[in-house]
């Protein structure tokens, strides 16, 4: 299953049809934010094979949905995906389809704990991050008042 769009969606759809995989591969195109939980619930592993990224919210959404992540080691992704015991996914070099395939098989063969995956992003929830920002702003205000 692939969710998302862009200029490569139609060529990819044509390739899937040409390979006779249309009955096994589903390409859904763009999804509304309200639809994302349904797609996440339908997958066993979330895969983000990007060549470039910032800090992708979709990785947080996958982990918050209790899904392990297989992603490329680009941008802010390594700050979100932790490998090893107690980790929440696997990282591979960008542009290495063999490594990506091996990681997907390994992820599918691993018994992940959905609650632990959800917990791995708890420190990045809106409430926690918002509280940290408020505390930081209050500290800056106290320091400025003390210096004035």
CB within 8 Å of 40: residues ≥ 6 apart: 46, 61, 62, 65, 67
The whole-angstrom separation of Cα 28 and Cα 31 is 8
Residue 9 contacts residue 28 (beta carbons within 8 Å): no
CB atoms near residue 54 (< 10 Å): 10
pLDDT at 121 over 80: yes
Cα→Cα distances 11→5, 8, 14, Å: 11, 5, 5
What are the beta bridge partners of residue 90? 70
For 36-64, the pLDDT digits (tens) are: 999 999 999 999 999 999 999 999 999 99
The answer regarding whether domain 31-147 maps to CATH 1.10.132.20 reads: no
User: Residue 73 gets which letter from DSSP?
Assistant: S
Task: List the chain domain ranges.
Answer: 31-147
Share the mean pLDDT of the chain.
94
Q: Note the pTM of the prediction, 2 decimals.
A: 0.83
Q: How far apart are CA 143 and CA 148, in angstroms?
A: 9
pLDDT value at position 148? 63
For residue 43, which of 23, 57, 28, 21 has the smallest C-alpha distance?
28
């Amino acid at each position: 299953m692939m969710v998302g769009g862009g200029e490569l969606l139609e060529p990819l759809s044509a390739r899937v049809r040409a390979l006779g995989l249309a009955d096994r591969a589903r390409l859904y195109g763009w999804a509304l934010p309200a639809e994302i939980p349904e797609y996440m619930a339908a997958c066993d592993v979330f895969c983000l094979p990007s060549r470039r990224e910032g800090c992708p919210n979709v990785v947080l959404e996958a982990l918050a949905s209790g899904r392990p992540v297989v992603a490329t080691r680009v941008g802010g992704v390594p700050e979100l995906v932790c490998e090893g015991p107690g980790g929440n996914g696997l990282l591979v070099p960008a542009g290495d389809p063999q490594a990506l395939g091996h990681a997907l098989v390994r992820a599918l063969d691993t018994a992940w704990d959905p609650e632990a995956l959800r917990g791995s992003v708890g420190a990045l929830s809106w409430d926690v991050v918002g509280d940290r920002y408020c505390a930081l702003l209050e500290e800056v205000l106290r320091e400025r008042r003390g210096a004035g």
